[in-house]
């Protein structure tokens, strides 16, 4: 049985890199393409990266909620979103804003852009900080260590893999 699972997993991994884009679309649907493209362009982020983060964080479920209190497509905590709202346009923030795809991706893409700037464009460090927090990543960088949390390493690797899949499967929708 275990050998069958390994073979099936290997075949799936092979197929997602060799099959045409329509095949990847079956496994990785893209929702909110216009919103993703708009804010990726506005924040100068690769749209496939933004789509991969959203897929990983919420599977494109605008109503997603985590046990840690994160909400929406990009799984923002209310405290983070409130800080972004105040910093970017001074508007009054409401928790219900986080289930609005446009607002959530606007805030999340701004935050991801800020992390990319903070880590000099290093996507792996920015993604690790998005997942594990800046304080942890800053500590690892200061000690010249790699990503210390196995779940964060897996998170970064998954997004890097999905980024390639979204770029290939949705090139026109994402503006390539």
Point out the residues that are catalytic: 57
Residue 57 CA, chain-centre distance (Å), reads 6
Q: Cα(25)–Cα(50) distance, rounded to whole angstroms?
A: 16
Residue 120 contacts residue 89 (beta carbons within 8 Å) = no
Tokens coding 24:
């990847």
**Which ranges constitute the DSSP H helices of the chain?**
2-18, 21-27, 33-43, 47-58, 78-88, 101-118, 123-132, 134-142, 150-169
């Amino acid at each position: 049985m275990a050998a069958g699972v390994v073979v099936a997993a290997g075949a799936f991994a092979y197929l997602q890199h060799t099959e045409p884009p329509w095949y990847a679309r079956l496994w990785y649907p893209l929702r909110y393409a216009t919103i993703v493209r708009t804010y990726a362009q506005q924040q100068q982020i690769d749209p496939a990266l933004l789509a991969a983060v959203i897929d990983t964080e919420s599977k494109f479920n605008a109503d997603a909620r985590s046990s840690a209190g994160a909400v929406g497509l990009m799984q923002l905590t209310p405290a983070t979103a409130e800080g972004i709202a105040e910093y970017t346009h001074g508007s009054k923030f409401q928790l219900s804003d986080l289930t609005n795809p446009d607002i959530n991706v606007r805030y999340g893409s701004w935050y991801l852009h800020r992390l990319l700037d903070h880590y000099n464009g290093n996507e792996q460090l920015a993604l690790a900080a998005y997942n594990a927090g800046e304080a942890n990543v800053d500590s690892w960088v200061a000690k010249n260590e790699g990503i210390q949390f196995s779940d964060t390493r897996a998170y970064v690797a998954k997004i890097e893999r999905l980024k390639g899949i979204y770029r290939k499967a949705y090139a026109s929708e994402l503006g390539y």
